[in-house]
Amino acid sequence: MDTVTSLVWGHSALKLVVDVSPDGPVAVRTLTAGGGQHRARQQWARATQPLVEVLVPGEGRGRASHRFSETAIGRRLVYAGSAQTHDGRWRELRIDLRDERTGLTAEAVFRSAEGVSAVQVRTRVTNEGGTPVLLLGVTSFAAGLIGYPVDELDLVRGDSEWLGEGRWTRRPLRDGVPDLNLPLHGQDGRGRLAVVSKGTWSTGVHLPTGGLVHRGDGPAWMWQVEHNGAWRWEVGERRDGAYVSLLGPTDLDHQWQHRLAPGESFTTVPASVAVSDGLDGAVAALTAHRRALVRPHRDRTALPVVFNDYMNTLMGDPTTAKLLPLIDAAADAGAEVFVIDAGWYDNGAHWWDSVGEWQPSQTRFPRGIEEVLTHIRERGMVPGLWLEPEVVGVRSPMADKLPEEAFLSRGGVRLVEHDRYHLDLRHPRAVAHLDEVVDRLVEQLGVGYFKLDYNIDPGAGTDLLADSAGDGLLEHNRAHLAWLDRLLDRHPDVTLENCASGAMRMDYAMLSRLQLQSTSDQQDFLRYPPVAAAAPMSVLPEQSASWAYPQPDMSEEQLAYSMVTGLLGRLYLSGRLDRMDDTQLESVRAGVRAYKELRADLAATVPLWPLGLPGWDDPWLSLALRAGETTYLALWRRGGATTPAKNAAPPTLSLPHLSGRDVDIEVHYPRELPAWSLTWTPESGSLTVTPTGAEPAAARVFRIVPRPAEGPTR
């Protein structure tokens, strides 16, 4: 066995070991929680998956493939030093690498919060040679799970689309990575399972979060690419086990090329990796890591109830006459923010392709929108407005007021998508326009909440003043984040909701800045639960805003079903409350009270899935949030949606963290409807639930607390 020199770094909850031997690639040997309880089954001479992969035209890959594994430069990068620093809770490691042939240097920077078994990584590449270098792809992070055969690993991944967000699966990695008997050939494989997102809907097709989970006593890794634009992650097989590579845009996938002149640098988008025992542990670690990443804001402690007038309610047609009674009903129900959604700027019947100036409508609000906003404040709520800042309709006056360079374009032609132009936030005039809009609405109208929507995707990007379309898009993406940072610096008390046709941009570039996330545009209350139940795989529970839109024509069970969908997260309320009778209103008020009783715990909860990851057509769905000794458990019986759950066997839910303990279980909501039969088995930590009542669709939230252990008897 060759001599291996390793660099060890970490803290109480994380241990990273990187091989830095002079005769081999700089590579992650192990990434473990705490003291590193998981060890490779087979001791290899060294880790062989390069930590940093750099693809350029003149070098390519060491072996032909479409992988971001074994690039020629990645193989050659040698260790050139390291440094460790800390800033408050954060620990940082910088590893310096150098390629003598091209003169490229790389800095891999690891950041981890003390006590959290997760790390954020990014790579900075600098051209210290004498000639320009064209980058075609650079990994944010690449590593192998040494000694854990692909046969023993499951891949956890999520697919998404409008109205069907966050559809998670867990399947054997072998389903996508065939067994090729690599040891016989003495070479690593060439194939890979690549998950790619294109354009600016970063979660419009696939989710930037995934994981590898060992089915035995090995580790579970969960990762997320933290970018509001194009990204790629891939997994594959090497002779010493599986590997994972995490990247932002690439030439292969996203028409991304970036030219580095001598002395210039490029930094990748950040990516994070969490590690623990089992899937639940890795999700808990990633949850804690997300909390460390998120920008401080008062919303994180207040977690107010938001009422929005759109979903299944006014549907983009607000007027003073319609809003005033709805505002009163929302306030009476316990809402603390009232958002006027789309249409508040519309003087005509067709506003889609005329937006961009964001001036209040004079026809919808004859005495001015100030009358409505004042009434919201008088009822004790914060006024909010819907805004789609990045677009300008093709009929908007702003389309001619701004210069051509203020819009994304290709080949000298403005990009048009669904009758809208897309602002290029690299341009100062575009930024100045948006600053004027937000400052006016906050300072003159007193708006304290914005629902920031985003309903188009401009595709590969812009080639104006850029090395490639993908490069222009990346710089626009980063300019967008900088604009959000400055907005919050100027208006630190304003709350920003992240929305993009529901959850088409649900990434932690955005969510490290914005306070809450709309999880879907799904209008069918029977089909919403799998979205809400899966959301904490992608989003912090305290940021996860799922609609509860009870209606006057719903039965008592249906109304409660709709409310339950919004309770284990940020309660995001809508519905024609102004047309409900007293019994219906009291059920809504009870749901709001139930949320307010649990929200003090929400920002400390860890998600669990007692029935496994939710499937889109599952007859039963469950989500649990664990807060210290208390567990909140939501359960949906989904008869009438896609499956006849009414006739299915009573579900048994697994709560292993409560095994061996007696517990007290109470209905948290709805308390006035028929109780369900509950059977607790402490030996296995399992709960069997038998619903009562004739309606096929029903839901409950339970509160479970373990009983104090009995002391020794005298």
The tens digit of pLDDT for each residue in 606-636 reads: 999 999 999 999 999 999 999 999 999 999 9
Average pLDDT rounded to a whole number, residues 3-31: 93
394, pLDDT greater than 70:
yes
Q: Which residues pair with 637 in a beta bridge?
A: 620, 698
Q: At 186, is the pLDDT very low, low, confident or very high (cuts 50, 70, 90)?
A: confident
CA 532 to chain centre: 13
Reduced to 3 states (helix: H, G, I; strand: E, B; else coil), residue 105 is: strand
Nearest to 225 by CA among 183, 265, 196, 257: 196
The CA distance from 635 to 621, in Å, is 6
* DSSP letter, residue 313: I
Task: Say which range, 432-436, 499-503, 648-652, has the weakest mean pLDDT.
Answer: 648-652
Q: What is the residue-wise DSSP string for 518-546?
A: E------TTTSHHHHHHGGGTS-GGGEEE
Contact 267, 173 (CB under 8 A): no
Strand 409-410, strand 104-113: pairing:
unpaired
The H or E element containing residue 281 is helix 278-293
Mean pLDDT in the chain?
Answer: 95
Q: What is the pLDDT of residue 24?
A: 81
- Summarised one tens digit per residue, pLDDT across range 492-536 is 999 999 999 999 999 999 999 999 999 999 999 999 999 999 999
Which distant-in-sequence residues (6+ apart) come within 8 Å of 230 by Cβ?
196, 197, 198, 199, 200, 202, 248, 249, 253, 254, 256, 470, 473, 474
Nearest to 543 by CA among 526, 563, 568, 521: 568
Is the model more confident about 26 or about 3?
26
Q: What is the pLDDT of residue 349?
A: 72
Q: What is the pLDDT of residue 714?
A: 45
Q: Which residues of 191-202 are buried (b: 16+ CB within 10 A; e: fewer)?
A: ebbbbbbbbbbb
Q: Is 209 exposed, middle or buried (0-12, 13-18, 19+ CB in 10 A)?
A: buried
Please provide residue 712's backbone torsions phi and psi, each rounded to the nearest 5 degrees: -65, 140
Amino acid symbol at 322: K
The CA distance from 39 to 420, in Å, is 54
* DSSP letter, residue 458: -
- Summarised one tens digit per residue, pLDDT across range 107-142 is 999 999 999 999 999 999 999 999 999 999 999 999
Contact 621, 692 (CB under 8 A): no
Amino acid symbol at 148: Y
Q: At 184, is the pLDDT very low, low, confident or very high (cuts 50, 70, 90)?
A: confident
The CA distance from 472 to 230, in Å, is 12
Which distant-in-sequence residues (6+ apart) come within 8 Å of 88 by Cβ?
none
Nearest to 656 by CA among 614, 687, 627, 696: 687
- Kindly list the distances between the CA atom of residue 680 and the CA atoms of 660, 662, 665, in Å, as whole numbers in the listed order: 11, 8, 9
Please provide residue 484's backbone torsions phi and psi, each rounded to the nearest 5 degrees: -60, -40
Q: At 377, is the pLDDT very low, low, confident or very high (cuts 50, 70, 90)?
A: very high
* DSSP letter, residue 433: H
1, pLDDT greater than 50:
no
* DSSP letter, residue 617: T
> What are the start-end ranges of the E strands in 458-566?
495-498, 516-518, 544-548
Strand 420-422, strand 391-393: pairing:
antiparallel
Contact 414, 408 (CB under 8 A): yes
Q: How far apart are the first and last CA of the chain?
A: 62
The CA distance from 641 to 657, in Å, is 31
User: What angle do the packed helices 428-443 and 469-490 form, to 10 degrees?
Assistant: 30
Nearest to 150 by CA among 183, 118, 126, 123: 183
Average pLDDT rounded to a whole number, residues 478-490: 98
641, pLDDT greater than 60:
no
Place of tokens 């949906």: 636
Structure tokens at 356: 């961009």
657, pLDDT greater than 60:
yes
Q: What is the residue-wise DSSP string for 21-63?
A: -TTS--EEEEEEETTT----SS--SS--S-S--EE-TTT-BSS
Percent of the chain residues past pLDDT 90, beyond the cut = 90
Q: At 709, is the pLDDT very low, low, confident or very high (cuts 50, 70, 90)?
A: confident
- The alpha-helical segments, DSSP class H, found in 568-653 are 582-602
Contact 123, 267 (CB under 8 A): yes
Structure tokens at 218: 């090995």
Phi-psi region of 135 (alpha: psi -120 to 50; beta: other; left: phi over 0): beta
Is the model more confident about 240 or about 472?
472
The CA distance from 348 to 395, in Å, is 13
Q: At 350, is the pLDDT very low, low, confident or very high (cuts 50, 70, 90)?
A: confident
Place of tokens 């997260």: 569
Q: At 693, is the pLDDT very low, low, confident or very high (cuts 50, 70, 90)?
A: confident
Nearest to 680 by CA among 710, 699, 648, 702: 702
Contact 199, 181 (CB under 8 A): no
The CA distance from 336 to 318, in Å, is 19
39, pLDDT greater than 60:
no
The CA distance from 12 to 549, in Å, is 44
Place of tokens 């969960």: 222
Q: What is the pLDDT of residue 648?
A: 66
Strand 104-113, strand 90-98: pairing:
antiparallel
Is the model more confident about 169 or about 65?
169
Q: What is the pLDDT of residue 217?
A: 87
Average pLDDT rounded to a whole number, residues 86-97: 97
Q: Which residues pair with 573 in a beta bridge?
A: 307, 548
Question: CA angle, 258 as apex, 255 and 261 as ends, to 5°?
Answer: 160
Estimate the share of the chain in helix, then strand, then coil, as percent rounded to the nearest 5.
Answer: 25, 35, 45
The CA distance from 106 to 89, in Å, is 26
- Summarised one tens digit per residue, pLDDT across range 271-300 is 999 999 999 999 999 999 999 999 999 999
640, pLDDT greater than 90:
no
The CA distance from 182 to 236, in Å, is 12
The CA distance from 706 to 252, in Å, is 53
- The alpha-helical segments, DSSP class H, found in 294-319 are 299-302
